[in-house]
Amino acid sequence: MLAITCPNCGERNSNEFRYGGDASIVRPSHEDPSEEAWFRYVYIRDNPKGPHREYWQHVGGCRGWLIIERNTSNHVVLGVRRAGECR
């Protein structure tokens, strides 16, 4: 069992959470006319091995959005915080 400690609900089984995407991607400004920047934002994703920041939603609990830092090579959760908190 992979356990995730939700800041609102405490330690819960990972099956209560849904992956929401890569949290390291920064959306280009609306004023940015660069097609390359928008193409990379929409379509290009890395597949990192090691620590990685990800959005997850606690769908089986508080429904809050979280940023989880997880080591993708061994699934160890390195940190969890609410998505609205400072980066």
C-alpha distances (whole Å) from 25 to each of 20, 39, 62 are: 12, 12, 25
**Distance of alpha carbon 46 from alpha carbon 12, whole angstroms:** 28
Selected range binding Zn ion among 20-28, 44-52, 55-63, 70-78, rule: CB under 5 A = 55-63
> With binding defined as CB under 5 A, does residue 8 bind Zn ion?
yes
> Among 9, 77, 80, 83, which residue interacts with Zn ion (rule: CB under 5 A)?
9
58 in contact with Zn ion (CB under 5 A) = yes
83: contact with Zn ion by CB under 5 A:
no
In terms of phi and psi (left: phi > 0; alpha: psi -120 to 50; beta: otherwise), the region of 35 is: alpha
Q: Where do contacts with Zn ion occur on this chain (CB under 5 A)?
A: 6, 8-9, 58, 61-62
